[in-house]
A and B are shown apart, each in its own frame.
Chain A
Amino acid sequence: MNTSRLEELQQGQAERQAFSLGELVRRRPETITAALLVAICVIVAIANPAFLQPSTLVDIGRASVVMGLFALGVLVILAAGGIDVSFTAIAAFTMYSLTVLVQNHLPGLPIAVILLIATVGGALLGVINGLLVHHLKVPSLIVTIGTQYLFRGFLLSFIGTVWIMSLPPQMGAFGRLPLLQFESANGATITLPFYFLVLPIAAFVTWWILNRTLMGRAIFAMGGNANIASRLGYDLKKLHIFIFGYAGALAGLAGIIHVCANRQANPFDLVGTEINVIAAVVLGGAKITGGTGTVLGTILGVLLIVVINSVLVLVGIPSTWQRLVVGVFILLAAAFFVTRQRKK
């Protein structure tokens, strides 16, 4: 080894070890997400101290669950270099078909089994995505646009279009089951629902898979370069099946929680929100071109979008402005990530 180059490498490391904000942002882009989140919370809290009330925080937590589950699935697929826009259709399909099934044929089915069926059903639909992406060798964006229409079309044509207003009782009860309950200053009861727990659990499992299993490392390897990964012995078929199956499972679970939380099953719900979810994941620092992304960043991205969507009203900004703000944030964050990349 050329001495000078070795020294250079080591010198470079010394610089890297020294604290540098730029380096931190480059290696952990979710710092920007966190900073944006804190900034917006501080501004809103100053403008309207009501924001800091427990009820607002509980609202944000409740509103993050469905989007957070979707986002974790999208993260896994983005990390592997793919993209999925069919997960909302998978969620709509499982939630509505399952509600119809339980209501008409299996009224006594316990809620745990319902959640399990939703997860497995979502996973199966996801596996269809994975197999199609792998065998057709078509970009996953195209495949999942196709399956989004397919799943949704099948749902509306063959399962039904009727808005179900009265859920089977066990599902409604699950939606109301409290995790935390307390009285606010004005005497109203505030409830953090039990289903909120699903999000941190799913986040932990996703983190564990991505960082502690060979599957997780293989997902990032495929996201780095699929051809090279295959040459190194990674089984791309298994990987495709796993990532789309996993995202499908999370989507199925998210769908049924959406029904229970809203106490109604609308087959026209959810589809159309996928761009919002992808935006959250990208705001959380995952590259749309694959190979990067963290669970922490994704959760921060989701919180950021939920906070924007739910609190702008509190400071008197019309809700029509939400998209405007989200758009500006996405462009700002993206520009920031890209300049950091170039500067190195």
Chain B
Amino acid sequence: MSATSNTQQAPDRFLELRNIQKWFGGVHALRGIDLTLDLGQAYHLLGENGCGKSTVIKIMSGAIAPSVGEIILEGETHSAMTPIQSLSAGIETVYQDLSLLPNLTVAENVALNEQLVSGNGRLSRLFDRRRLKETAEKALATVGLPNNAAFINTIVSDLPLAARQLVAIARAIATHAKLVIMDEPTTSLTRREVDNLIRVVERLRQENVAVLFVTHKLDECYRIGGNAVIFRDGQCVAQGPIENYTKTQIAELMTGRAIDSARYRTAKPMDGNLFSVKGLTAAGVERMDFSLRKGEILGITGLADSGRNELAMAITGVAPARAGTITLDGRQVTIRRPADAIDHGIGYVPEDRLAEGLFLDKSILENEIALILTRLSNNFGVIDKQAGRETAARLSEEMRLNTKNLDLPVGALSGGNQQRVLIGRWLSIEPKLLVLHGPTVGVDVGSKDTIYRAIQALAERGIGLIIVSDDLPELLQNADRILVMNGGKVVAEFDAEHATEDQLYQAMLISKLETAQ
């Protein structure tokens, strides 16, 4: 087999997967994937959550072995690879969770692996500190991070999320990689940083490196260009130059059904003021005023440092406000802790649902009823399991979870379903106001659709919603009004039905220039 492949092999062929299949227990996650990757090319692996994208990546990076099939790496056939084999061959992966070691310095995270891999994983060797520093400095400069001594000696857990993402990318390009796999590399990057990343990718391609993206952001795929590889249910359903497909076609291929990209918001807000803040001041937020009607959906956007995240945390008591008044349903309320917000019926779905929102190893049932345990328990603190199960079943139904098994651990669900579990949990307290922070970060097109429908249904019940997001189409499709923040203040307000993505982006950037002057 490998002899034939050698003779037929194109000069720039790097990696070939042949009939790769993978079973997890009884689940047939990959149903025979054939894929070839050539040096100097860009590939976009597209598909819904749970379609097998991550499994394929793990097979390429040596984290798991396929059940059936062959991996042909530079003409050599393998039935499986170890992480060191894969790394030594020049396959570098930027994982979605970044896979940084939080207790080590930036330099060590970026450049230690180069030494490990060049020694084939052997540990009984001296570690070359000067080489570490040089490699790290070079890679950091490439991705646009500072590379002075203070920065490279910073412990990674002290860095903001966006900088960590760039550090993870720097690690991937610090070695002489031949294939760089990036699993959702841009989720926490601003546009400027994405632009820079795209330049890095172009440079890598010129240096004859293959780049494989996994992303849900189609606009970025079109900007980068290259080949689309579309997965559905563990199979590759389409492959070819990305410019040959429209967004709608890609979405249909991914989901197997037609997706409506029109505005989700059809209803109008109800009469009566629900929520208002006056002079709200917190770290990064300066004397904000705004109000919200019943059943209204308010979008808030801005660059990462605009104060939008801090605003969400101030309203929900995660990082309480220092000054200002918050009025809910005509009554002034004090919110010092998340528990206060819950008592008043204000729910918060954080951006990082894995770290801040969900108990991943607990069941759907336990996650859904986490907020109402007191209500479900009797005077002795014993929980009424039957009532809990009924509530959880109702919430899952309402959020259209794709499983009926409430005992499944939440960690086993796809990102879209996890998000639905989290929103469902808040419904259990009959909230008046829900603050959703990046509700579809890392969620595929199909799940986005379900989440958006759920959001609209909540608004129609009279719940006020604040969506804090940098996904501009998401706000335009779902909100009534959109506030653009900068420097802790609202700098522009738009009617979402008539605004455009360009207008919003302009407002974010122009106000930036003005504050700079």
Contacts and interface: CB of A to CB of B under 8 A. Distances in A.
Contacts of A292: 103
A16 interface: yes
A216 interface: yes
Contacts of A1: 144-145, 166, 192-193, 196
B506 interface: no
A233 B83 contact: yes
Given A13-B151, A233-B84, A238-B123, A214 B101 contact: no
A10 to B, nearest CB: 6
A229 interface: yes
B151 A231 contact: no
Nearest to B148: A13
B101 A229 contact: yes
A344 B193 contact: no
A231 B193 contact: no
A234 B155 CA distance: 20
Contacts of B112: 214, 217, 221
B330 interface: no
B235 interface: no
Contacts of B144: 1, 6
A91 B5 CA distance: 59
B241 interface: no
Given A2-B304, A13-B151, A233-B84, A221 B123 contact: no
Nearest to A79: B103
Contact of A231 (B61, B155, B512): B61
Interface in A219-267: 220-221, 223-225, 228-235, 238-239, 242
A332 B119 CA distance: 44
Given A1-B145, A16-B150, A214-B119, A220 B104 contact: yes
B207 interface: no
A225 B101 CA distance: 6
A305 B293 CA distance: 63
A214 B123 contact: yes
Contacts of A137: none
Interface in B254-304: 303-304
Interface in A7-23: 8-10, 13-14, 16-17
A97 to B, nearest CB: 29
Interface string B37-60: 000000000000000000000000
A291 to B, nearest CB: 4
B127 A217 contact: yes
Interface in A306-329: none
A6 B304 contact: no
Contacts, number: 121
A218 interface: yes
A214 B131 CA distance: 13
B101 A242 contact: no
Contacts of B403: none
Contact of B63 (A216, A223, A231): A231
A215 B304 CA distance: 38
A73 to B, nearest CB: 18
B102 A2 contact: no
B454 interface: no
A13 B305 contact: no
A215 B113 CA distance: 12
A279 B160 CA distance: 33
Given A1-B196, A217-B108, A344 B151 contact: no
B124 interface: yes
A224 B102 CA distance: 6
A219 B72 CA distance: 33
B150 A8 contact: no
Interface in B140-173: 144-146, 148, 150-151, 154-155, 158, 160, 162-163, 166
B104 A221 contact: yes
B304 A230 contact: no
B101 A221 contact: yes
Interface string B73-111: 000000000111001000000010101111110001000
A136 B102 CA distance: 26
Contacts of A238: 123
A9 B151 contact: yes
A230 to B, nearest CB: 7
Contacts of A213: 123-127
A5 interface: yes
Contacts of A9: 145-146, 151, 163
Nearest to B162: A5
Contacts of B125: 213-215
B124 A224 contact: no
B86 to A, nearest CB: 8
B360 interface: no
Contacts of A14: 150
Contact of B123 (A16, A17, A228, A242): A242
Contacts of B154: 13, 16
22 contacts: A2-B193, A2-B303, A5-B305, A6-B146, A9-B145, A9-B146, A9-B163, A13-B150, A13-B151, A16-B154, A212-B126, A213-B127, A214-B126, A214-B127, A217-B112, A228-B99, A232-B87, A235-B123, A239-B123, A242-B123, A291-B102, A344-B158
Interface of A: 1-6, 8-10, 13-14, 16-17, 27, 212-218, 220-221, 223-225, 228-235, 238-239, 242, 290-292, 344
Given A4-B305, A231-B83, 5 more contacts: A1-B144, A214-B125, A217-B108, A224-B104, A232-B99
For the complex of A and B, 10 pairs with smallest distance between CB atoms = A291-B103, A224-B101, A13-B150, A1-B144, A224-B103, A215-B123, A233-B83, A233-B84, A2-B192, A228-B99
